[in-house]
């Protein structure tokens, strides 16, 4: 997980999944790998779409649709914050809740906790 910086201010110092916007002409799967490296220094492999969130107002910056992927990673690698992440670390899912997680990312965490 990453701790958010000041953009947007509503999410400052809250946990979030690494991610960001897809660049023009970029495949979303390539964006997943790029954003993970930019924000944590970790190289992911084998991205698989896990969920989609797109409610209006989910992001205070603009209307956007969030594509959430699972990726294979080396859990022995320590994350190193970069880009707009002010901190990055492995966080136990039990330690995440609505008060310390940015935006609607808690919905994805709940899907992980309670698979259908």
Q: What is the CATH number of the domain that holds 102?
A: 3.90.79.10
Kindly report, residue by residue over 71-108, the tens digit of the pLDDT: 999 999 999 888 778 899 999 999 999 999 998 899 99
pTM of the model: 0.87
Average pLDDT, the chain: 91
Looking up tokens 């209006």 gives 56
Task: Collapse the DSSP code of 9 into the 3-class scheme (helix H, G, I; strand E, B; otherwise coil) and give the result.
Answer: helix
Q: Which domain holds residue 79?
A: 2-113
How many domains does the structure of the chain reveal? 1
d(CA 53, CA 51): 7
Contact predicate 27/47, CB 8 Å: no
Contact predicate 4/85, CB 8 Å: yes
């Amino acid at each position: 997980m990453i701790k958010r910086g000041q953009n947007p201010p509503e999410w400052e110092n809250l946990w979030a999944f690494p991610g960001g916007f897809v660049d023009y002409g970029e495949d979303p799967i390539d964006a997943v790998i790029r954003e993970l490296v930019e924000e944590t220094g970790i190289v992911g492999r084998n991205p698989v779409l896990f969920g989609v969130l797109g409610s209006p107002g989910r992001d205070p910056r603009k209307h956007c649709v969030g594509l959430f992927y699972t990726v294979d990673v080396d859990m022995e690698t320590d994350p190193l914050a970069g880009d707009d992440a002010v901190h990055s670390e492995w966080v136990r899912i039990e330690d995440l809740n609505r008060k310390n997680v940015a935006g609607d990312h808690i919905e994805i965490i709940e899907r992980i906790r309670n698979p259908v």
